[in-house]
Structure 1
Amino acid sequence: MNIEQWDEYRQITDAMNEMISDMDDSPQMKNVVGHICRSGGKKVRPIILLLASRICGGDSDNSINAALAIELIHSASLIHDDILDEGVIRRGVESAHKKFGPAAAMLAGDYMISKSIELISIYSTPVVREFGRAGMAMAEGETIDIKSTSEDFAEMNYFDCIDKKTASLFAASAAMGAYIVGADERTASKLKDYGEKLGRAYQIVDDILEYTENVDDKRSENESISILQIYRRAIPHESAVEKATLLAMENVRMAKDILEEFEPSDSRSKLMEVTDHITTEMLPKTLKNTIRSR
């Protein structure tokens, strides 16, 4: 699957390029923000927002500002994450703080968060509330993550961390997409639950890949404790990997079950594809075989 060929991906990329082009009055900031925003990335969270609007029967054109806001706050969180973890590579290129220095990188992150607030301000209270709560949760999750190198960091702490740091923005993206087109609270809550399950599965798979492979597009000096390392305290390596994989796939199954409650449509099919693309399809072949044998 090539997400970059999707209309939703192009919508977000075009909006981002237009925003950067309009930054001519601040060339230094434009240089840093441009490096961050144009360094790749799957744009999964904003795509989920646009597709959530469509699966609820709305026009995603009204959602593009919110989608851009989601991508900006996500990118800003990566800047802060790289500074805290001393990350040197992000999305296959030099991280912002390594290329421009910590001060310039932090200020670019501040700019992107401020711009995201401006973009989101045109929407209704439920949309703004979801966005604000996700931002706070991400910061709380990062605070928990800082403590994750401790030996007493347990499974409960891990899930609290990833639900806030990672899953919260997936969940908010899906709920915001629904609210923007006038969906009721029950529908928005259903999509929020979908995003939360997908975000949790995505983070577990990401941890599996970092634990079992050499991930070239993201490298840090300080690594957080993952669920694999927590499981490894009590069970052998292979068992820890299998247990984490099955946990991720259970969350994928629950996310897809939620989507099945919606009427068949191109948007639902694309959300199903996105769900597989960032979870199941990312796993090594040996682990995929493990899933199939179950």
Structure 2
Amino acid sequence: MGVVVNIGDKQPEKAPSVDQLVKLTEADIVRVNQHIIDNMQSPVALIPQLAGHIIAAGGKRLRPMLTLAAAQLCGYTGSRHIGLAACVEFIHTATLLHDDVVDESDLRRGQDSANAVWGNKASVLVGDFLFSRSFQLMVADGSLPVLKILSEASAVIAEGEVMQLMTANDPKATEEAYLEVIRSKTAKLFAAASQIGAVVAEKPKTQEEALESFGMNLGIAFQLIDDVLDYSAKQAELGKNIGDDFREGKVTLPIILAWRRGSEEERDFWLRTIERVEQEEGDFEHAVSLMEKHNTLEDTIDRARHYGAIARDALGIFPDSDIKDALVELIDFCIYRAY
């Protein structure tokens, strides 16, 4: 379903990218990848096989890259950030394995999901293994503040998953309730990954809190743009299926806004397609047309820009540097993926 959505003309003159951030963290990412490989080994052959399948499909390693970049921003010259970045990736990968089971997803970044290949039981159990391994890495680091930050993030992510179940298939959900879900489910790990960069560098609380704010608001912006991309032909370029959220009856901000602004007839459409998931040929295209009618996709992008601006402001206390510039460009990249 390749529906091209008009989502405005607020693109920057030059498309932002993550190339500079990748370049500046490249040497550390190589070490993180090796740490990941070393720590996902197990005498139970299925564990490294299944874990390797999803980790290999993990994209740009954005969350561990945040830990590496934050440590670099804080002038850290040790090696603790390597193990902690791997820990962050294990937490993220575990949540993906569990998400795909809960969502009954058959694809992950354009390839078969682990649960589609090995089944739900194996995916859940290997996800549990990766969560457990992440805690072993936290303990190996030996820092109680780091353990507190990452263990709290793990608990909040799980809470976010449960909160999402409570708002699932409910187009009447409030925007506030939905934002709380994505703060917990997505943005909390962005925040923790960034914050621990200041902790290992033993920086003042102000810098630690600034990086936490940067990560939290970046994560919210990132998820809001993901919400938009599910209804855009741009999604296909990112190796994802267009309309997956819609077909699963998943409630995201564009739907919440469309419900709020819609007529009685339009709300009946959302109840049928999202609440009851009784979908017919052409429903996805009609959903997109309603979003265009009520400007909900562009308004979701505007909200992402708002959170992106807060993330940018949070970096203001750090001196100018190449890594700071790369993190600012990352904010723009996350938002302008929509174009």
TM-score, normalising length: structure 2: 0.78
Instruction: Pick which of 38-47 and 206-215 moved more.
Output: 206-215
1:51/1:60 contact within 8 Å kept: no
Find the counterpart in structure 2 of residue 157 from structure 1: 177
Corresponding residue to 1:64 among 68, 82, 103 = 82
1:16/1:68 contact within 8 Å kept: yes
Q: In the alignment, is residue 234 of structure 1 matched against residue 289 of structure 2? A: no
Alignment of 1:39-188 (within 5 A): 39-59=57-77, 61-121=79-139, 122-148=141-167, 149-188=169-208
Rounded Cα–Cα distance in structure 1 between residues aligned with 2:232 and 2:260: 18
Rounded Cα–Cα distance in structure 2 between residues aligned with 1:276 and 1:52: 17
Cα 1:35–1:87 change in 2 (3 A) is same
Rounded Cα–Cα distance in structure 2 between residues aligned with 1:41 and 1:283: 17
Instruction: Pick which of 115-124 and 154-163 moved more.
Output: 115-124
2:94/2:131 contact within 8 Å kept: yes
Rounded Cα–Cα distance in structure 2 between residues aligned with 1:263 and 1:18: 31
Q: Runs in 1 of length 4+ with deviation above 4 angstroms?
A: 2-5
2:222/2:334 contact within 8 Å kept: yes
* Corresponding residue SS for 2:181: helix
Cα 1:147–1:9 change in 2 (3 A) is farther
Q: In the alignment, is residue 30 of structure 1 matched against residue 48 of structure 2? A: yes
Q: In the alignment, is residue 20 of structure 1 matched against residue 76 of structure 2? A: no
Rounded Cα–Cα distance in structure 1 between residues aligned with 2:156 and 2:214: 17
Find the counterpart in structure 1 of residue 12 from structure 2: none
Q: In the alignment, is residue 264 of structure 1 matched against residue 290 of structure 2? A: no
Rounded Cα–Cα distance in structure 2 between residues aligned with 1:37 and 1:82: 14
Rounded Cα–Cα distance in structure 2 between residues aligned with 1:55 and 1:212: 35
Rounded Cα–Cα distance in structure 1 between residues aligned with 2:71 and 2:183: 23
Cα deviation for residue 278 of structure 1 reads 2.0
Instruction: Pick which of 226-235 and 145-154 moved more.
Output: 145-154
Rounded Cα–Cα distance in structure 1 between residues aligned with 2:30 and 2:122: 23
Deviations 1:181-228 (A, max 9, x none): 111222101110111110010010000111333734345562420100
Deviations 1:76-115 (A, max 9, x none): 1011111001111112211110011111111111111111
Q: In the alignment, is residue 283 of structure 1 matched against residue 300 of structure 2? A: no
Rounded Cα–Cα distance in structure 2 between residues aligned with 1:261 and 1:133: 26
1:166/1:200 contact within 8 Å kept: yes
* Corresponding residue SS for 2:75: coil
Unaligned runs of at least 5 residues, structure 2:
1-16, 262-289
Cα 1:38–1:183 change in 2 (3 A) is same
Rounded Cα–Cα distance in structure 1 between residues aligned with 2:76 and 2:120: 41
Find the counterpart in structure 2 of residue 288 from structure 1: none
Rounded Cα–Cα distance in structure 2 between residues aligned with 1:95 and 1:210: 18
2:28/2:68 contact within 8 Å kept: no
1:9/1:47 contact within 8 Å kept: no
Q: How many aligned positions are there?
A: 283
Matched residues, percent identical? 29
Higher relative contact order by CA 8 Å / sep ≥ 6: 1 or 2? 2
RMSD: 2.0
* Corresponding residue SS for 2:319: coil
Rounded Cα–Cα distance in structure 1 between residues aligned with 2:37 and 2:44: 10
Deviations 1:266-290 (A, max 9, x none): 221221122222222x012xxxxxx
Cα 1:130–1:117 change in 2 (3 A) is same
1:16/1:37 contact within 8 Å kept: no
* Amino acid in the other structure paired with 1:80: H
* Amino acid in the other structure paired with 2:28: Q
- Structure with larger Rg: 2
* Corresponding residue SS for 1:260: helix
* Amino acid in the other structure paired with 2:59: G
